[in-house]
Structure formats: C-alpha cells, structure tokens
A = this chain, B = another copy of it.
Amino acid sequence: MGVVIAVDAMGGDGAPEDVVAGVRMAVEDGSLAVLLVGDPAVLKPLVAHQPGIEIVPAATVVPQTADPAEAIRSDPRCSIAVAAQAVRSGAADGLVSAGHSGATLAAVTLIIGRQRGVSRPALAAVLPGALRPTVLIDAGANLDSTPEQLHAQARLGTAFALELLGIEQPTCGLLTIGEESGKGDLRTKAAHALLLADATLAYRGSVEGRDLLTSKVDVIVSDGFAGNIALKATEGAAREAFRRLREQVTGAPATLAGLQLHTALGRVRADLDPDTYGGAHLLGAEAVAIIAHGEARPHGIAQACRYAAAGVRLGLPARLAARTAVGSP
C-alpha cells in the first residue's frame, strides 16, 4: 500500500492553483497518493483526472482572521478540518496544509490528537546549518508557551534530529539574548532550569539569534513567537544580502565575473532556500502533519508532500512518542 497524504487545497497564498500544481508534481512518480480537500467545482478542472489524486469535498475555508480553535469547533466542514478527519479515520496517513497555521494546529490538536504527555504540538523547522541541518522548534505554531512546553519541545526536537535527520546525540540550546546561560525573560529563565535538570538532553545552554545557521547546536528551542521572528529574520536577511549583491553586479557590464557571481549566488541561495523541505513538521501529534509555507509555490508544495510521505514511511510519530515518553532515556 502506498502512502496517502491529505492536502488542504484551499489554504495558502497561491491556493488552490499552486497547491494543485504542486500536488500534481508530487504524485507524478507514483510514490505517494493525495486526497485533495476542497471545493470540487474549483478543483476538478485543475486536477484533470490525474491518477493518484482523489478530490474530497469540503464546503468552506477557515478565514485568515478567525480564531483558529473556535473556527474548527464551529465548522467541521471546513477544508482543514475535513483533511484532519481523513487522517483521523485512516483514509490518509499524513496531512499537508499551507493555510492558516493556527487553524492547522487547532485541527491537528482537536481532530488528529496529541501524543501522550504533549500539551501542544510544536513546529520543527529544519535550517541549513554550516555543518549539518539544524532544528528550530517552535518555529511559529504556539505563542505564549510555558517553560514546561519549551522543555517538551527540547525532547521532541532532539528525538526528531536523531530519527529523521540521523544526527547522533543531538545537542540543544535555548534561544535567548546574551551568551550567559539563564539570561533572558522570565519564561526563558524558568525553561533554562528545566532543561538543565533533564539528563536525557545534551543541553548546551543559551544560543543567540546569530546562531541559527552556525551549527553551534543541533536543536534550537524557542517559543513560537521569538522562533518565528528569528526564522523570518534569517530568511529575510539572506534574501536582502543576495538582492543587494545582485544589484552591484547587474550595474556592471555583462562580464565573466558577473556570470560567475550569479552562479555562486545561485548555489548559496539554493542552499539557504526555505523551500528545500517545503514546510515544517508539527511534532507531538498522533500522525504526520506538515505546515507548508503560506507563500509556497508548486515546487514547495510538492516538497512538503514528499516530506510528509517520508515521515509516514519512517513511522515518525510513534518513534518520537517512544523516545520522549516520560521516563524514557
């Protein structure tokens, strides 16, 4: 049996056209199938009978301005809720959504369910560190996290780095300001004490915003607010640095130097491209769930579907649950 991914066709800046185009790319080689959830009248002409894609009707879409949990509770026919129900019922093995991330988190939490001992699933972004990939958890799903939730994230992120990225004995650090350990706001100080006391973690103390790409630690633990800001600042600065460099070279005549710079830029850009994975795993749920970038293009959506399928094949949720259960080493 092949892997089946439920995709919310109605979520994301380019929905539904870009989502459908990405899904068509993802199913092309037959390695996975997709349940495409949304309005059939809109989706049918876009899908055009491509094998591997089945349309599942959903009557509504969660508006960007809605309170996420409230929206899911009051409207079980919205596309993200129907997609989550497909995973819950076993019709699909995993979920991909480029829509409202709060609504996706709510649908996963309320419909798919959480692994034992996890009060809030957290978003694990994988960054291109200098030496190896780096996990940033939480990258934006939860705001107002508690120190206990940050502790749970450290365990989930460590297990993820080991199981999915193959990093042995992953080290972790707490995102804060200043290098001295324990420096930061009240929440960070309390979380620092919890991480320090957990002998199952290879906790290295504080890391700063500048350490996101330096491989100082393998897992960077943060609340979703600061984590998302750090992630976006990193992406934005790299993009802006490249833009300004390109401007310098475009001003010059079309020389060999210009050509070589474009090649080098292209290579490093690809390396730092947020669409490498297409999205981020929501860890701590009972099934694989990927939040894709809201601005994902078809290529990013296809990557997100493949990334979800890889997590399903690995049995990621069960592996994380086994590693992070209370009392496990």
Chain A residues touching B, range: 35 or more
Q: Which A223-249 residues have a C-beta within 8 angstroms of B? A: 224-226, 228-245, 248-249
A268 near B: Cβ within 8 Å?
Answer: yes
- Say how many copies of this protein the assembly contains: 2
Partner pick for A233 among B130, B184, B234, CB 8 A cutoff: B234
A244 close to B229 (CB less than 8 A)? no
Residues in B whose Cβ lies below 8 Å from that of A208? 228-229, 232, 236
Chain A interface, DSSP helix/strand/loop, else mixed: helix
Q: Which A187-240 residues have a C-beta within 8 angstroms of B? A: 188, 208-214, 224-226, 228-240
Q: Of all chain B residues, which has the CB nearest A175? A: B229
A186 near B: Cβ within 8 Å?
Answer: yes
Cβ-closest 8 pairs across A and B = A210-B236, A209-B232, A209-B233, A257-B260, A257-B257, A237-B237, A233-B233, A143-B185
Q: Which residues from chain A sit less than 8 Å from chain B, CB to CB?
A: 64-65, 101, 130, 140, 143-144, 175-178, 180, 184-186, 188, 208-214, 224-226, 228-245, 248-249, 252, 255-261, 264-265, 267-268, 271-272
6 contacts between A and B (CB under 8 A): A101-B178, A214-B240, A225-B226, A226-B229, A245-B265, A256-B256
- 10 additional contacts (CB under 8 A) given A210-B235, A255-B260: A143-B184, A143-B185, A177-B228, A185-B225, A208-B232, A210-B233, A211-B236, A213-B237, A245-B245, A245-B265
